[in-house]
Chains A and B, each alone.
Chain A
Amino acid sequence: MTVKLDRRSFIKSAAATSAVATAASLFPGISFADWKKQTGSNGMITWKKAPCRFCGTGCGVLVGVSGDRAVAVKGDPKCSVNKGLCCVKGYHSVQALYGKDRLTRAQVRKNGKMVEVPVSEALDLIAAKMKETIKKHGKDSVAIYGSGQWTIPDGYVASKLFKGCIGTNNVEANARLCMASAVTGFLTSFGLDEPMGCYEDIENANVFVTWGNNMAEMHPVLFSRMLAARKRKKDVILIDFATRTTRTSQAADKSILFRPQTDLAVANAICHEIIRNNWVNWDFVNKHVSFHKGKTNIGYGLEDHFAFKDKAENMTFEEYKEFLREYTPEKVEKISGVPAKDIRYLASLYGDPKKKVTSFWCMGMNQHTRGTWINNLVYNIHLLVGKISTPGNSPFSLTGQPSACGTVREVGTLTHKLPHGVVMKEEARKMAAEIWDVPVSNIDPKPTYHTVEMFRALDRGDIRFMWIQVTNPMVTMPKLKRYRNGALKEDRFIVVSDVYPTPTTDVADVILPAAMWVEQEGMFGNSERRTQHFEQIVPPPGEAMSDTWQIIEVARRLGFEKQFPWGKDEYIGKIWEEYRRFHASPKHNMAPYEVLKKRSGVQWPFVNGRETRWRYNAKYDPAVSNGEEFHFYGKKDNRAWIWARPYEPAAESPDQEYNFWLNTGRVIEHWHTGSMTRRVPILHNAVPSSYVEINPEDAAELGVVNGEMVKIISRRGEIVMPASINGRGVPPRGMVFVPFFDEKYLINEVTLDAFCPISKQPDYKKCAVRLEKA
Chain B
Amino acid sequence: MKKTDTLMGRLGLGIASLCLAGAMTAGFAVAAPGIPHDFDSKGEKIFNRYNETPLPAMTGTDGKRTLNTFYELRQYPGSPPRIPHKIPTSFSGEIFECISCHGRGGYVAELDAYAPVTPHPENEACFQCHVPRLTEKLFVENDWQSIEPPVIGRPQLGGSPPPIPHSLQLREDCIACHTGNGAVAEIRVEHGSRGNCRQCHVPMVATKPVKEFTRPSK
Binding site for B on A (CB under 8 A): 1, 24-25, 28-35, 45, 64, 71-74, 85-88, 91-92, 94-95, 99, 101, 216, 220-221, 223-224, 227-228, 230-231, 240, 245-247, 249-257, 501, 506, 668-669, 678-686, 688, 695-697, 726-730, 732-733, 743-744
Contact = CB atoms under 8 A, between A and B. Distances in A.
A216 B35 contact: no
Interface in B144-158: 148-149, 151-158
Given A228-B195, A730-B39, A253 B34 contact: no
Nearest to B163: A682
B40 A247 contact: yes
18 contacts: A28-B149, A29-B186, A31-B153, A72-B159, A92-B160, A220-B199, A221-B199, A223-B196, A245-B31, A247-B43, A249-B31, A254-B30, A255-B29, A257-B35, A685-B202, A685-B203, A695-B34, A730-B35
Contacts of A73: 157, 159-160
- A contacts with B: majority SS: mixed
A72 B213 CA distance: 21
B156 A92 contact: yes
Contacts of A45: 158
Contacts of B34: 695, 697, 732-733
A99 B154 CA distance: 20
Contact of A1 (B28, B148, B163, B202): B148
B193 interface: yes
Contact of B152 (A29, A231, A250): A29
Interface in B173-218: 186, 193-196, 198-204, 210-213, 215-216, 218
A743 B216 CA distance: 8
Specify the main secondary structure of chain B where it touches its partner: loop
Given A29-B186, A92-B160, A730-B36, A501 B215 contact: yes
Given A72-B159, A252-B29, 19 more contacts: A28-B71, A28-B148, A29-B152, A31-B153, A33-B153, A34-B154, A71-B157, A74-B159, A216-B199, A227-B196, A247-B43, A247-B198, A250-B29, A253-B29, A685-B163, A686-B202, A697-B34, A729-B39, A733-B34
Interface stretch (B2-10, B12-20, B44-52): B44-52
Given A224-B195, A231-B195, A668-B199, A64 B210 contact: no
Contacts of A668: 198-199, 202
Central interface residue in B35, B36, B47, B51, by most chain A CB within 10 Å:
B35
Contact of B156 (A35, A245, A696): A35
Contacts of A247: 40, 43, 198
A297 B11 CA distance: 67
B32 interface: yes
A29 B152 CA distance: 6
B28 to A, nearest CB: 7
Nearest to B30: A254
Contacts of A240: 29
Contacts of B204: 681-682, 685-686
B51 A678 contact: no
B201 A227 contact: no
B80 interface: no
Given A29-B149, A92-B156, A92-B157, A253 B28 contact: yes
Interface in B40-70: 40, 43-44, 47, 50-51, 55, 66-68
Contacts of A1: 148
B143 interface: no
Nearest to B45: A250
B161 interface: yes
B63 to A, nearest CB: 14
A116 B11 CA distance: 72
Given A33-B154, A684-B211, A72 B193 contact: no
A94 B68 CA distance: 35
Given A686-B202, A730-B39, A227 B47 contact: yes
Contacts of B151: 24-25, 28-32, 34
A373 B18 CA distance: 50
A224 B196 contact: yes
A91 B160 contact: yes
Interface of B: 28-32, 34-36, 38-40, 43-44, 47, 50-51, 55, 66-68, 71, 148-149, 151-163, 186, 193-196, 198-204, 210-213, 215-216, 218
Contact of B32 (A245, A501, A696): A245
A29 B184 CA distance: 11
Contacts of B194: 85, 224, 228
Nearest to A221: B199
A743 to B, nearest CB: 6
For A85, A220, A227, A251, which residue has the most chain B Cβ atoms within 10 angstroms?
Answer: A251
Contacts of B200: 85-88, 91
B153 A32 contact: yes
B32 A230 contact: no
B29 A254 contact: yes
B39 A727 contact: yes
A71 B158 contact: yes
Contacts of B30: 253-255
Contacts of B203: 685-686
A1 B146 CA distance: 10
A268 B207 CA distance: 53
A87 B160 CA distance: 10
B199 A223 contact: yes
Nearest to A338: B32
Contact of B39 (A32, A71, A245, A680): A245
Contact of B201 (A88, A683, A688): A88
Contact of A31 (B39, B154, B160, B215): B154
B202 A249 contact: no
B44 A250 contact: yes
A668 B161 CA distance: 15
A501 B218 CA distance: 12
Nearest to A502: B215
Contacts of B47: 227, 250-251
Nearest to B149: A28
Given A33-B158, A224-B196, A28 B67 contact: yes
A87 to B, nearest CB: 5
Contacts of B212: 681, 684
A284 B171 CA distance: 52
Contacts of A685: 163, 202-204, 210-211
B117 to A, nearest CB: 18
Contacts of A245: 31-32, 35, 39
A726 B161 CA distance: 26
A678 B212 CA distance: 9
B70 to A, nearest CB: 9
A12 to B, nearest CB: 20
Contacts of A730: 35-36, 39
Contacts of A669: 202
A31 to B, nearest CB: 3
Nearest to B200: A88
Q: Which of A25, A246, A257, A686: most chain B CB closer than 10 A?
A: A686
Contact of B51 (A29, A64, A231, A254): A231
A31 B206 CA distance: 13
Nearest to A220: B199
Contacts of B195: 224, 227-228, 231
Contact of B196 (A32, A220, A252, A680): A220
Contacts of B158: 33, 45, 64, 71-72
* Residue in A72, A73, A231, A728 whose Cβ sees the most chain B Cβ within 10 Å: A231
Q: Which of B29, B198, B199, B204 has the most CB of A within 10 A?
A: B199
Contacts of B199: 87-88, 216, 220-221, 223-224, 668
Q: Pick the most buried of A29, A224, A726: most chain B CB atoms within 10 A of its CB.
A: A29
A156 to B, nearest CB: 33
B213 A744 contact: no
Contacts of A501: 215
